[in-house]
Amino acid sequence: MFFEQMFSPDYKKDLGQIDALIKKYYLSRKKCEAQGFISDCCGKVISSHSISKKFLREIASNDGHVYCFDDRIFGLVERNGEMGLKRVGISDASTYNMFCSQHDNSLFSPIEDCELIPDENQCLRLMYRALMMEKHHKESQFYFWNYMVENAKPLFDFPFSTLMLDCSRFSLRETDLIKEKISYAVKTNDVSNLRVLRIYYREEPGVLCSGAFFPEYDYRGTSLWKKYSLKTTLDALSINILPLSNDGQNYNGVAVLSWLDNPGQDYCQKFIESMHEITLPDLSNVLIHTIFEYIENICISPSWWDSKEKSIQNTLLGLHAIQKHSPLKYKEITMQYDNWNAAEAQLWNGKSWDSFPFS
């Protein structure tokens, strides 16, 4: 077995210990990421939705479940190292112990208690929530791998543990820097440095997501940043794909791609500009490919997934398992995942919404 080769002969016992450490560092760790921000913490960190429950309800099965990636270590062992999905109730799906109830309620009331448009203020909150989730997750990752390298060598001594620690240290540094900027924007309600590409769909998306990544290539496959140094500040591109209802324009879904203006570097700006070449009919297909490859926090409609051919399911699961990304060229995405019928797109330039033309 895949994992049997990676761990000691007594691997089931070892995996049990690693599973306990994952629970300790990822699942049980509680921290309000908005501590000291705008209002005081109430002290009760809750399981916060990174994708609102009201949105998950839209795509859930009749009994209130969605599919999420099954990254339990025993799940991976059962599937011989292959990625798979699990059914999760919408009360638990996409939740992280990342805010106290006071901050969770006050910060996201413009999304939770209002109809999603989404205007620039809602986009700012969506981006903030996605970035805080990533920051919370990266910090858990860092503590986990730090423990592994420091204390668990006999248990977990395969070559990439040190590499994983270095990667998580790098990601945490970047998300810490971005946290400062986005927190200031939310605190001052300043959307002048916010940039958003908002794409409306006629069809309801079968896949919802909320997360962020650092674009390394644009959609032509051109490298955006070649050499990382401590002087580099990478741009995080956050992506939310959400259902819409009753907006009066017959749109049933929206993709919100947002980033912060970063003069002189502009990796996200260049990434988005390369989308001009994509045709509207291809847009949902390219985005589905992108989020399965780059965004970890994805919730899938069971009826959407179950209706897909095995070849599509396997390709999407394979994308999610990619550790080292190759240049992503939109012309080479030949698999037809779905067409959510993109109708129009607009760009928030810091002052106004402009039309964003595609090919």
State the minimum distance, in angstroms, from the CB of residue 328 to Zn ion. 37
CA atoms of 260 and 248, how far apart (whole Å): 30
Measured from the CB atom, the residue of 103 and 136 that comes closer to Zn ion is: 103
Measured from the CB atom, the residue of 65 and 103 that comes closer to Zn ion is: 103
Measured from the CB atom, the residue of 44 and 79 that comes closer to Zn ion is: 44
130 neighbors 211 (Cβ within 8 angstroms): yes
**For residue 3, how many C-alpha atoms fall within 13 Å in the half-sphere facing its CB?**
20
State the minimum distance, in angstroms, from the CB of residue 91 to Zn ion. 21
Sites for Zn ion among residues 88-147 (CB under 5 A): 100, 103
State the minimum distance, in angstroms, from the CB of residue 98 to Zn ion. 10
State the minimum distance, in angstroms, from the CB of residue 37 to Zn ion. 7
What does 112-143 look like in DSSP terms, one character per residue? HSS-----HHHHHHHHHHHHHHHHHHHHHHHH
Measured from the CB atom, the residue of 110 and 221 that comes closer to Zn ion is: 110
State the minimum distance, in angstroms, from the CB of residue 133 to Zn ion. 15
7 neighbors 109 (Cβ within 8 angstroms): no
56 neighbors 93 (Cβ within 8 angstroms): yes
State the minimum distance, in angstroms, from the CB of residue 262 to Zn ion. 28
Question: Of the candidates 113, 117, 115, 108, which has an alpha carbon nearest to the alpha carbon of residue 353?
Answer: 117
Residues that contact Zn ion, how many (by CB under 5 A): 5
90 neighbors 111 (Cβ within 8 angstroms): no
| E strand or H helix at 354 | strand 353-355
Contact status: 287 vs Zn ion (CB under 5 A): no
134 neighbors 114 (Cβ within 8 angstroms): no
Measured from the CB atom, the residue of 37 and 219 that comes closer to Zn ion is: 37
Per-residue contact flags (x/-) with Zn ion for residues 23 to 62, judged by CB under 5 A? ---------x-x------x---------------------
Residues of this chain that interact with Zn ion (CB under 5 A) are 32, 34, 41, 100, 103
